[in-house]
Amino acid sequence: MRIVTWKKEMQKLAKECQRKGKSIGFVPTMGYLHEGHVTLVKEARNHNDVVVMSIFVNPLQFGPEEDFEAYPRDPERDKQLAEEAGVDILFMPDAEEMYHHKPAMKMTVSRKTNILCGVNRPGHFDGVVTVLAKLFHLTLPDRAYFGLKDAQQFAVVASLVDDLDFPVELVPVETVREPSGLAVSSRNVNLTKEEKKQAPAIYKGLQKAKELIEQGENNIEVITRSVKEYMEEHMDAEIDYVELLSFPELERIPEPTGTMMIAAAVKFSQTRLIDNIMIKR
């Protein structure tokens, strides 16, 4: 595995791969790798000649009161896990390398951000698309792999690729879960022992929505209220939101139909967790 920290070197390596006719699979991450990231690498490994992973905690997508400094980091462990997973090139720039001067322009996301995490995180997705635009130019991937745990991010990135005609195929990968049903996340490390026991209620609550829809329930408010009530009964945490939306449009719908996503965000004492499941009717 080759470790790269400079943008020019990364782009040079990517161009060399292109000249040799080798396909590139790209896995963007913020590090503190876990089973979910390893699954993304395995998917990329199965369909590409070269696998590139980036590890970069992007300051642009953290608000002034969010957990940028507290975001878990373990670069040495990440290097080991990346190599074991089959990464060929590990791109690990620092913030100075990625943003070495004040930008002359700004990327702004105008759709799919006025709901879910976008409501309470103004500017978050602007930071996401900014860093991904840069990373796509630097790694030149044929395919990029994203976990569906953050389905809103996937939908926003799909718009980025479509609107700006990036020549990259986005590959969604199902959420990896612990045996309890809790979605694997770098932020799980910040849960207390008791919160770790309670957190699987997020997924179980979302499954309640799926059951109701499969039973024929058409009232969106009834469905989301049932999810909230289940979570409140089984967790000592603040529910940020529970929403049932069309996917990938991320629009509110009058009744359950088509491809949908039931999503939730929950705030525990030291961290905020998100999860979702897809439903078709």
Q: Indicate the annotated binding residues.
A: 30-37, 61, 147-150, 153, 176, 184-187
Q: Is the peptide bond before 248 cis (omega within 30 degrees of 0)?
A: yes
Which long-range contacts link 231-238 to residues 24+ away (Cβ below 8 Å)? 231/201, 231/202, 231/205, 231/264, 231/266, 234/198, 234/201, 234/204, 234/205, 235/198, 235/199, 235/201, 235/202, 235/266, 236/194, 236/195, 236/198, 237/195, 237/198, 237/266, 237/267, 237/268, 238/266, 238/267
C-beta separation of 252 from 260 below 8 A: no
Cα 83 to Cα 3, 33, 52, distances in angstroms: 10, 12, 11
Instruction: Based on the residue annotation, tell me whether 37 is a catalytic residue of this protein.
Output: yes
Spatial strand order of the sheet with 272-280 comes to 238-246, 259-267, 272-280
DSSP state of 32: S
Catalytic residue (one of 37, 101, 124, 234):
37
- Binding site members for ATP: 30-37, 147-150, 176, 184-187
Helix, strand, or coil (residue 2): strand
User: Where does residue 114 rank: exposed (0-12), middle (13-18), buried (19+ CB within 10 A)?
Assistant: exposed
Catalytic residue numbers?
A: 37
